[in-house]
């Protein structure tokens, strides 16, 4: 969730809220793990939209400003923040966590084909954004 929001504090709050909502619903939820996962993404997307901010990493958070690796991480975080919430979720689950398209589709409430389209578009958008900044 922290990769999705690019904000660890927000990610912790979102997960806590998803679990709180699950507890309120009780036995009505058939698959609690999947429900919490989907809810957390929806809550995060709503909160990020409400804040109307792009989640970015600030230069102050970098240990050694000017370090090429740290600056590359800032650039990647900024690019990810410019993707749609679905593209960011799909791309991070595919590329960072190694999930299959079918698993991602189940978790985000979509189809395998739609997930693959989101991933393809996200990769193209990332490449274009990196060329712009490059």
Mean pLDDT over the full length of the chain: 78
CB 56 within 8 A of CB 81: yes
Helical pair 8-25 and 32-51, crossing angle rounded to 10 deg: 130
DSSP H/E element including 41:
helix 32-51
Average pLDDT over residues 67-88: 73
> Looking at the chain, how many residues does it have?
134
Measured distance CA(83)–CA(66) in Å, rounded: 25
- Give the Cα separation of 28 and 35 in Å (integer): 11
Write the burial class of residue 104 (CB in 10 Å: 0-12 exposed, 13-18 middle, 19+ buried): buried
Question: Percent of the chain beyond pLDDT 90?
Answer: 10
pLDDT over threshold 80, residue 109: yes
Q: Looking at residue 62, what is its pLDDT?
A: 44
Q: Residues near 21 by Cβ (< 8 Å), separated by ≥ 6?
A: 39
d(CA 71, CA 40): 29
Q: What is the mean pLDDT of residues 100-104?
A: 88
First to last CA, the chain: 28
């Amino acid at each position: 969730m922290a990769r999705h929001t690019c904000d660890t504090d927000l990610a912790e709050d979102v997960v806590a809220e998803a679990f709180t909502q699950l507890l309120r619903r009780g036995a009505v939820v058939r698959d609690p793990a999947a429900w919490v996962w989907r809810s957390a993404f929806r809550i995060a997307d709503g909160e990020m939209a409400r804040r109307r901010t792009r989640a970015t990493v600030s230069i102050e958070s970098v240990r050694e400003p000017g370090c090429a690796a740290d600056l590359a991480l800032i650039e990647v975080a900024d690019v990810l923040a410019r993707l749609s919430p679905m593209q960011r979720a799909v791309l991070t689950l595919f590329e960072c966590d190694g999930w299959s398209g079918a698993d991602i589709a189940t978790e985000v409430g979509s189809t395998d084909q739609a997930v693959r389209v989101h991933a393809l578009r996200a990769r193209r958008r990332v490449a274009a954004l990196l060329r712009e900044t490059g």
